[in-house]
Amino acid sequence: MTDVNTLGEFGLIEHLTQAFPITQPSTIRGIGDDAAVIDNGPFCTVVSTDMLVEGIHFDLAYTPLRHLGYKAVVVNLSDIYAMNATPRQITVSFAISSKYTVEALDELYAGIHAACETYGVDLVGGDTTSAPKGMVISITAIGQGEKERLAYRSGARPGDLICITGDLGAAYLGLQLLERERRIWIEHPEVQRNLEEQKYIVGRHLKPEARRDMIEAFRKADLIPTSMIDISDGLASELFHICKQSRVGALLEESGVPIHPDAQMMALQFKLDPITCALNGGEDYELLFTIDPKDTDKVRFLPDIYIAGEILDAADGIKLNTKGGNLHTLQAQGWRHF
Amino acid sequence: MTDVNTLGEFGLIEHLTQAFPITQPSTIRGIGDDAAVIDNGPFCTVVSTDMLVEGIHFDLAYTPLRHLGYKAVVVNLSDIYAMNATPRQITVSFAISSKYTVEALDELYAGIHAACETYGVDLVGGDTTSAPKGMVISITAIGQGEKERLAYRSGARPGDLICITGDLGAAYLGLQLLERERRIWIEHPEVQRNLEEQKYIVGRHLKPEARRDMIEAFRKADLIPTSMIDISDGLASELFHICKQSRVGALLEESGVPIHPDAQMMALQFKLDPITCALNGGEDYELLFTIDPKDTDKVRFLPDIYIAGEILDAADGIKLNTKGGNLHTLQAQGWRHF
């Protein structure tokens, strides 16, 4: 018998799905990107799905249900935007144990509702069931994209520039902070703690936003990224996905990786290297994309986009040029290797 | 605090989703039918999703994982067929505890694969995660339908004929039998039991099929049902959905409700009334639909379709005319009321 952990999440998906051929003429892209792509004439239907499990993806001790509902929607929309497409509908399914009251679910749905309003998507279906224990939420987002404008993970070419939106690492540090505060609270419930000063990083963890604005900016700038992925598992992991599927290498410049000052400070408090948090922290829901160098001027004047390296030949590997001028070979789980 | 059970599943969905407006021009139908319908020009995208929870929807003591995988797909496809549409793609997400091995998941996926092959659908995405306990499977099916041929729950009109495919109640009795055999096995593991004679009803529970053939027959017969729903929760519950959403009443003829001889026999063994099993048993995945009486001849010569009553005005209520000639008022959960 084989423990599923021997394969890892991506290995397991590959193992289980390798025997599934694509047979439908309307299936343009199946497993292996941020979302599946279904042909519908000039417009494609783009579908992405995520499952969140209590005790694995969220801890209700420090995640308000309203934030959980909001975030559960946003992480799915982020996958649709990462295809350079626009989400239009979602379905929400959940399984809950009897400990959840209607009022608790109302809070969850208030968050889902807020996300639907903010991003202009319709809730169009789902399933509701009981569970022996805890809560599982499964959301599917359905979007629309112009066939010619979709951005896959597989389109990066040597010479393309690597771009990153927003800033990275803050969501991970927000989570570290919440977990530390929770431990302190359990031991010393009498001590009042104030997280107000760390609003930015806590907010990045509890209430992330998807980069709808970027997809709209790309359209206005008449820019189509050559490849794109959303940063949910950390920059290193996402860069590996792009390099693997595009069959290229990459040189990432540490000096080009955007990190918020609050995240810098908190990393030092936790005795972590800020770049490590950006590379491996996850849950930032920013976009990693590549552009043809001839499009550099289109990006240069867009706010909140950072050029952070260059796509190389596959033979060159995937490397990080540190601020100190050292060249590190990046690992998919770079975290363990620094 | 309000226990979710006070609302019931349908009440809970209504409660949680009533504040969600439809804002997207492409959303033709949202919550409240077998599937959501999304406009894509002449063809619509039809989306349905289901969540199955270990210990609630399946018991691995008598459900082989391969059958579970097959069934999990089929129940979703059934929802797409119930819109008079054709499923093309599915996504499969699951959360599993560490007790599941890769080999166990291989079995599950072998069943999913068999269903994809049988029904000609592509697996195009999903999510894989760990869970503290048990297994949760969430499947979303995506289909395609011609806008003019879609059958909603809301289209039944007084005078329409009520039609049922296949036979009802057998899946429920198959489950009763499996549960009884399991209890006997726990108490007397030395006794060899043979379920071979009850292959039909056990198969109806463990390996149901969706009525793809009916949707194809409708097309050939140039028939569009005025309303349609798949029978997952029992005939009574589904007839209530159609009547509620079409704002009509119904007269159901007991003599017209198809019940397999093996199910008849097993019901008597369990001291159950066969019609009660058909009305409230669930998991048959047959189709309940209504037709304009002018289309009667189109249905008459199709195999495996039974005319079982007539749609009435809403004021007439929803009634069952028993074989004995008594008129019963049906309850949504008729089960408790016989």
Q: Is the pLDDT of residue A7 over 80?
A: no
Q: Is the pLDDT of residue A61 over 70?
A: yes
Q: Say whether B23 and A128 touch across the interface (CB within 8 A).
A: no
Which chain A residues are Cβ-neighbours of B113 within 8 angstroms? 19-20
Contact in structure between B309 and B252 (CB atoms under 8 Å): yes
As a whole number of angstroms, the distance between CA B26 and CA B283 comes to: 32
CA-based end-to-end distance of chain A: 33
Q: Is the pLDDT of residue A334 over 70?
A: no
Please report, for residues A54, A134, B16, B197, the alpha-carbon distance to residue B4 in angstroms, rounded to integers and kept in the order given.
18, 14, 11, 41
State the pLDDT at residue B333: 58
What would the mean pLDDT of A12-33 be, rounded to a whole number?
A: 80
State the pLDDT at residue A5: 75
Write down the pTM of the prediction: 0.90
What value, to the nearest 5°, has the Cα angle with vertex A138 and ends B140 and B139? 20
Q: Say whether B47 and A124 touch across the interface (CB within 8 A).
A: yes
Residue A31 — pLDDT band, cuts 50, 70, 90?
A: confident
Which chain A residues are Cβ-neighbours of B72 within 8 angstroms? none
Q: Please name which of A146, A319, A108 lies closest in space to residue A222, comparing C-alpha atoms.
A: A146
Homologous superfamily of A161-337: PurM-like C-terminal domain (3.90.650.10)
Q: Does any CB of chain A come closer than 8 Å to the CB of residue B8? A: no
Which chain A residues are Cβ-neighbours of B51 within 8 angstroms? 93-95, 127, 129, 136, 138
Write out the residue limits of the CATH 3.90.650.10 domain(s) in chain B: 161-337
Q: Does any CB of chain A come closer than 8 Å to the CB of residue B314? A: no
Rounded-to-5 percentages of helix, strand, coil across chain A: 40, 30, 30
* 3-class SS of residue A125: strand
Spell out the per-residue pLDDT of chain B, length 338, in tens. Answer: 777 777 777 777 788 887 788 888 888 887 877 788 888 877 889 999 999 999 999 988 888 999 999 999 999 999 999 999 999 999 999 999 988 888 899 999 999 999 999 999 999 888 888 898 899 999 999 999 998 999 999 999 999 999 999 999 999 999 999 999 888 888 888 877 778 889 999 999 999 999 999 999 999 999 999 999 999 999 999 999 999 999 999 999 999 999 999 999 999 999 999 999 999 999 999 999 999 999 999 998 899 999 999 999 999 999 999 999 999 999 765 333 33
Q: Say whether A31 and B3 touch across the interface (CB within 8 A).
A: no
Beta strands in chain B (DSSP E): 27-29, 36-40, 43-53, 86-96, 122-125, 128-130, 135-146, 161-165, 227-231, 248-253, 286-291, 305-313, 318-321, 327-329
Q: Does any CB of chain B come closer than 8 Å to the CB of residue A264? A: no
Between A56 and A290, residue with greater pLDDT: A290
Measured on CA atoms in the order A165, A171, A172, A177, is the torsion positive or negative? positive
State the pLDDT at residue B77: 96
State the pLDDT at residue B245: 92
DSSP-derived pairing of the beta strands B135-146 and B43-53: antiparallel
A97-106, A110-119, A269-278, B152-161: segment of lowest average pLDDT: A97-106
As a whole number of angstroms, the distance between CA A268 and CA A127 comes to: 44
State the pLDDT at residue A260: 97
At B57, the amino acid letter reads H
What would the mean pLDDT of A314-322 be, rounded to a whole number?
A: 96
Pick among A2, A20, A37, A100 to test the B interface (most B CBs inside 10 A): A20
As a whole number of angstroms, the distance between CA A211 and CA A198 comes to: 22
Q: Say whether B116 and A48 touch across the interface (CB within 8 A).
A: no
Pick among A16, A29, A76 to test the B interface (most B CBs inside 10 A): A16
Contact in structure between A290 and A225 (CB atoms under 8 Å): yes
As a whole number of angstroms, the distance between CA B132 and CA A223 comes to: 44
* 3-class SS of residue A30: coil
Q: Does any CB of chain A come closer than 8 Å to the CB of residue B114? A: no
Q: Does any CB of chain A come closer than 8 Å to the CB of residue B147? A: no
Q: Is the pLDDT of residue A75 over 70?
A: yes
As a whole number of angstroms, the distance between CA A260 and CA A281 comes to: 14
As a whole number of angstroms, the distance between CA A88 and CA A77 comes to: 9
Contact in structure between B195 and B181 (CB atoms under 8 Å): yes
Which chain B residues are Cβ-neighbours of A109 within 8 angstroms? 16-17, 19
In terms of phi and psi (left: phi > 0; alpha: psi -120 to 50; beta: otherwise), the region of A245 is: alpha
Please report, for residues A134, A236, A261, A321, the alpha-carbon distance to residue A280 in angstroms, rounded to integers and kept in the order given.
28, 6, 18, 16
Nearest CA in chain B to A126: B49
State the pLDDT at residue B38: 84
Q: At B33, phi and psi to the nearest 5?
A: -130, -175
Q: Does any CB of chain B come closer than 8 Å to the CB of residue A118? A: no
State the pLDDT at residue B10: 73
State the pLDDT at residue B150: 92
State CA B175 to chain mean position distance.
Answer: 15
Nearest CA in chain A to B28: A124
> Per-residue pLDDT tens for A173-193?
999 999 998 888 888 888 777
Write out the residue limits of the CATH 3.30.1330.10 domain(s) in chain B: 4-149
As a whole number of angstroms, the distance between CA A204 and CA B310 comes to: 57
A10-19, A48-57, A238-247, B261-270: segment of lowest average pLDDT: A10-19
As a whole number of angstroms, the distance between CA B23 and CA A87 comes to: 12
Please report, for residues B45, B174, B284, the alpha-carbon distance to residue B202 in angstroms, rounded to integers and kept in the order given.
34, 4, 12
Report ipTM for this prediction: 0.88
Q: Is the pLDDT of residue A338 over 50?
A: no
Q: Does any CB of chain A come closer than 8 Å to the CB of residue B35? A: yes
Sheet containing A36-40, strands listed edge to edge, beginning at the edge strand earlier in sequence: A27-29, A36-40, A43-53, A135-146, A86-96, A122-130
State the pLDDT at residue A41: 77
State the pLDDT at residue A335: 37
* 3-class SS of residue A309: strand
Sequence-ordered list of residues with C-beta below 8 angstroms from that of B269, at least 6 positions apart, any chain: none
CATH architecture assigned to A4-149 = 2-Layer Sandwich (3.30)
